[in-house]
Structure 1
Amino acid sequence: MSLEKEMLNQGSEHDSSCCTPDGSERKSHHSDKVKSSLTSRLNRIEGQIRGIKGLIEKDTYCDDVLNQIASVQSALNGVGKLLLEHHLKSCVIERIQEGDTEVLTELMTTMNKLIK
């Protein structure tokens, strides 16, 4: 199953207390498969960043480095999109159903940061 499908399916398995404030902390619950997939993606991105550092140290042509940076940004955007979709379909819906409309302000702040 793809990460996208796993995250969509996970919304129905979501722990009802995972996204509601419990004092000062909120948590989200991701299945082990989703965590593993996200971690793998982030590990690849981390490797790409180390590669970019190496290109800079080797005085690689600027356009080549910039293309690698664009690739990393795209990969990070992909991870962010998946997490945002999961957040909307689980945490945000739950909190709205519980009457917590503050989640919408929080969501708008987060989305503004993501689309800068």
Structure 2
Amino acid sequence: MDKKKENINHTDENCCKRHTWRNDEEKKRLLSRLRRIEGQIRGLEKMVENDAYCPDILMQSSAAACAIHSFNRQLLEAHIRGCVTEEIREGGEGKVDELCNMLQKLMK
């Protein structure tokens, strides 16, 4: 089996029951994007606190939304290329069904 590991069960009820192993490079890339998004959100907070002009705030908010969409695309691609592809190679289709359901929810 590939290094991607999913559906690892833990006895701790407070812990998520499903996990995806990510290599260090992928994890670093995702966390870097999230930290940039976090910085954009903090910038938006300061703009509101400083009574910035509404259109300026809206432009920054739009940029933050685009950054989140970009993060989602990167994560979705990794999921399809890793988790979904691996299960298909192993003869399963549960991840494909899960992906289709998830995409329907995301595209509402």
What TM bracket, shorter-length normalisation? 0.7 to 0.9
Asked whether the 8 Å contact 2:87–2:95 carries over to 1, the reply is: yes
**Residue of structure 1 in register with 2:65 after alignment:** 73
Matched, 1:101 2:93: yes
Match of 2:50 in 1: 58
Which structure is higher in RCO with an 8 Å CA cutoff and minimum separation 6?
1
* TM-score (ref. length: structure 1): 0.74
Higher helix residue share: 1
| Identity fraction in percent | 37
Alignment of structure 1 residues 1-116 onto 2, 5 Å: 14-15=2-3, 18-19=5-6, 21-23=7-9, 25-116=17-108
CA distance in 1, matches of 2:87, 2:61: 36
Aligned residue-pair number: 102
Partners of 1:52 and 1:69 within 8 A in 2 = yes
Structure 1 unaligned runs (5+)? 1-12
Contact 1:49 1:72 (8 Å CA) reproduced: yes
Measure the CA separation in 2 of the matches of 1:27 and 1:77: 22
TM-score, scaled to structure 2: 0.79
- C-alpha distance 113-58 of structure 1, shift in aligned 2 (>3 A): farther
Shift of 1:14: 4.0
Whether contact under 8 Å (1:14, 1:29) holds in the other structure is no
